[in-house]
Amino acid sequence: MKNLEMSFQMMKAKTKNPMNKGTSAMKEITADMIKALRERTGVAMGKCKEALVLAEGDMEKAIDVLRKAGMAAAVKKEGRETKEGMILTAENAHHLILAEGNAETDFVTQNDRFRHFLHDCVKQALDTKPKSLADFIQQPYFKDPSITIDQYRNLVIQSLGENIQLKRLEMITKHERNSYGTYSHMGGKLVVVVEIEGANDQESTAKEIAMHIAAENPDYLKPEEVPVNVIAREEEIARSQVQGKPANIVDKIVAGKIKAFTDQVCLISQKYIKDNSLTVQQYLETVTKKIGKPLSIRCFWRWKVGQ
């Protein structure tokens, strides 16, 4: 990777400095030009500016400069759709990282180079705790600080011949009294993380609930979290189905249908997949009685590739 940086520096040295021609021959390099080149190439802003200076403001020549330096061979690949991918997690005592990387084909997502890229990303993110994905991709790559994470991604694009994207990244701050369980399904195409409040030794319980979430795909944690407009829509549909009945009967039927709906979409109300005689909440209560500590599900994350 350092060889690429050296080749770029050699190209700068070999190219006549346009500033020597006088400002009249030099096209002004604007922030919009730099941004446009960045969007077309995926190369860092600083390198885009240098390339535009070397190319005297000519966009296509600037792309050639970057390509000759080995930084932008994947210009045309950047716009390709990335439907396949993989989700990885990494954690320590204080944080847990979720990251999704995408490619054009499942074949590439099975490639070691792609997997190493994503593993490196979650490892670095766990160490650096970025505020956002945008901040993270501009960080120096820990194995080669001469390039950024985004430039590293571009090198992987060149190597594999497909568009590669780091689609999303989230850092979860752990609470010392809580437990965290992670379940990965289909080789990382679906990943669930569950946080349980009340004890810090219930990772296995959290993982059991994560497996349930992977299978049943709840939209909300509990009925109180269902938006008012969603309930109103379900109520409207339910009332349209029971027209012509007495008002008191209609109200009871509608209330029953709303409860059936929230039981279906809310995690704590769903039938527990390993024992459908219990709801998820009731399963958690059995664990509470066993360990003598009150437990509750604080939140969950369910990531599926391409969502």
Instruction: Give yes or no for residue 289 having a pLDDT over 60.
Output: yes
Name the residue with higher pLDDT: 289 or 22.
289
* CB-CB contact of 126 with 91 (8 Å): yes
Q: Which pLDDT band, with edges at 50, 70 and 90, does 23 fall under?
A: very low
CATH class, range 190-304? alpha beta
Q: Give the pLDDT score at 189.
A: 97
Q: What percent of the chain has pLDDT over 90?
A: 71
Rounded-to-integer distance, Cα 295 and Cα 211, Å: 18
Same fold yes or no, 84-174 and 190-304: yes
Name the architecture of domain 84-174: 2-Layer Sandwich (3.30)
- In the chain, at which residue ranges do the beta strands (DSSP E only) sit? 84-91, 95-103, 140-141, 144-148, 165-173, 179-185, 190-197, 296-304
Domain boundaries, the chain: 2-72, 84-174, 190-304
Name the residue with higher pLDDT: 4 or 293.
293
Q: Give the pLDDT score at 80.
A: 62
Long-range contacts of 62-69 (CB under 8 A, 24+ apart): 62/37, 63/37, 65/11, 65/15, 66/37, 66/41, 68/7, 68/11, 69/4, 69/7, 69/8, 69/11
At 165, give phi and psi (nearest 5°): -130, 140
Phi-psi region of 84 (alpha: psi -120 to 50; beta: other; left: phi over 0): beta
Q: Give the pLDDT score at 22.
A: 41
The residue-averaged pLDDT of 85-90 equals: 97
User: Which uninterrupted H or E stretch holds 18?
Assistant: none
Instruction: Give yes or no for residue 14 having a pLDDT over 80.
Output: no
Instruction: Give yes or no for residue 35 having a pLDDT over 60.
Output: yes
Instruction: Give yes or no for residue 192 having a pLDDT over 50.
Output: yes
Instruction: Give yes or no for residue 11 having a pLDDT over 90.
Output: no
Instruction: Give yes or no for residue 19 having a pLDDT over 50.
Output: no
Q: Which pLDDT band, with edges at 50, 70 and 90, does 67 fall under?
A: confident
Rounded-to-integer distance, Cα 202 and Cα 209, Å: 11
* CB-CB contact of 281 with 196 (8 Å): no
Q: Cα–chain-centroid distance for residue 243?
A: 45
